[in-house]
Structure 1
Amino acid sequence: MSGLRLALAALCLMLAGSGLARAETVTVFAASSLKTALEEIAAGFGAETGDQVRLSFAGSSAMARQIMAGAPADLFLSANPGWMDAVEAEGLLVAGTRRDLLGNALVLIGAPDGPEVGLGDDLAAVLGDDRLAMALVEAVPAGIYGEAALEALGQWEALAPRVAQAENVRAALALVATGAAPLGIVYRSDAQAEPRVRVLDTFAADTHPPITYPVARIAGRETPAADAFLAYLGGEAARAVFTRHGFDVIGE
């Protein structure tokens, strides 16, 4: 038995020396549009460091409210500055960690075998009795941007009664992908992640506020692994993934 105890003790020392015993978990709250890219980035970070990244996705509004209610997030990635502002106003960000990480574009999508439609067309007439899929227009960034863009094009008043509002942008994407809605408004990165839809047109950047994704650390949960993942998000490997998935990388 003494030999077994010695062997177990030696194994524990080896694990501690390798860093496996010190592996940490980083909890990230992020906008739904980041799902595909962040899952790949988190896997790369885990393989490189041995730490685990736990990802939680929803609309930025839902993520921000959960953090303000005390949810245990280490990092927050929002799809617009407004919801990050709300979290910061509550004193919940680690000072000096907030930065703008990504940009995106807003697109009109439809089924691959659907009709050719563009933003210059009367979309309400095209839809008829059908629906336009969008994220919640009063809370979720993709919906807020989409409403602003349609207003700028003079189409919102006619389209508003025909909008099928989804709880987040990936849910709006799914409505088009499954055929529940013939048209939708999502981010370019979302459309790129879903082979069952195609981009019909892209909204000009001046039709809506700039699409900006800020990231920041959440106060009270400072760990080396969380700091490392925040740094990793700005590194070459993560930047390559974001770019490949249709995002614009900002800064560094």
Structure 2
Amino acid sequence: MKKLKVRGLGLMTAVIISIGGLVGCSGSDAPEDTAKKSEPVEITVSAAASLTEALNEIETLYEEESGNEVSMNYGSSGALQKQIEEGAPTDLFISAGKKQMDALREAGLVKSDSIKDLLGNKLVLIVSEEYADKIKTVEDLLNTDGKIAIGEVETVPVGQYSQESLENLNVWGSIQDKIVFAKDVKAVISYVESGEAVAGIAYKSDAVGMKSGKVAEEIDPSTHKEIVYPEGIVESTEHEEAVKGYMEFLDKEESTDIFKKYGFEVK
């Protein structure tokens, strides 16, 4: 009987030890799991105005999946560059041109190893409803007396691409007195939709959402530098891991499908 009692006690002790071990493991795992879950953060993204519709749509999906919040700041790439240079709180910069991103990288304001090309785009000639049958090519701009809208050539990438293209097509010199300079590509669209300008040059992605007017032609891409949208993490960010997660989300199929829907070329 003693022998059986001892064996029973040994078994009971083993069971107690095993249970204690499981409880101990469960208790020690809980803090580790909790530690792995990061608190939701808010990241600020400064992005070219031409990305407004696409990024707003993606923002909703990202916030639902990540639990983080995104504060979007849209404008011309040159204006956004200046804001970052002046210390505006920004975590991620998405430019419509390499010039602005390169300037920030050279100034040490954007992390060099984070910069990558996100998207591409194309230039299109857009015309108002009234002039849809009169202006069908860039060369037709030579024969109109109406105003022609393009982006500011100093600060707005679409304006810089437009000037370069018009110069290479031998049109620029003859139409300068007809040009209305817009603060960003959205303003170019607005000028043409309202009829204040008979024509304008915009990105293909922005022309997709025009409420009036039409695309007369897609401008030959060999007449200007390649249109590229680089993205880069701002050096002063306090949420680098969250920003990297957002950048990864922009590469997911659900995001790239949205970019394509709005006329962008995914890199």
TM range (shorter): 0.7 to 0.9
Alignment of 1:84-103 (within 5 A): 84-103=101-120
Give a deviation string over 1:114-156, Cα, whole Å, max 9, x none: 3322225331322x1x210111022210000001111111100
TM-align CA RMSD: 1.7
Counterpart pick for 1:216 among 210, 232, 247: 232
- Give the Cα–Cα distance (whole angstroms) in 2 for the partners of residues 121 and 233 of structure 1: 38
- Give the Cα–Cα distance (whole angstroms) in 2 for the partners of residues 110 and 20 of structure 1: 52
Which aligned segments of 4 or more residues in structure 1 are displaced greater than 4 angstroms? Answer: none
TM (normalized to structure 2)? Answer: 0.82
Task: Mark the structure with the bigger radius of gyration.
Answer: 2
Q: Secondary structure at the match of 1:173?
A: helix
Alignment of 1:1-252 (within 5 A): 22-112=39-129, 114-116=131-133, 117-119=135-137, 121-126=139-144, 128=145, 130-223=146-239, 224-250=241-267
Q: Secondary structure at the match of 1:174?
A: helix
Please tell me whether the aligned partners of residues 128 and 197 of structure 2 are also in contact (alpha carbons under 8 angstroms): no
Residue matched to 1:13: none
Q: Secondary structure at the match of 2:195?
A: coil
Using the aligned pairs only, state the percent identity.
Answer: 34
The amino acid that maps onto 1:41 is I
- Give the Cα–Cα distance (whole angstroms) in 2 for the partners of residues 119 and 152 of structure 1: 14
- Give the Cα–Cα distance (whole angstroms) in 2 for the partners of residues 233 and 63 of structure 1: 20
- Give the Cα–Cα distance (whole angstroms) in 1 for the partners of residues 129 and 92 of structure 2: 36
Alignment: residue pair count: 231
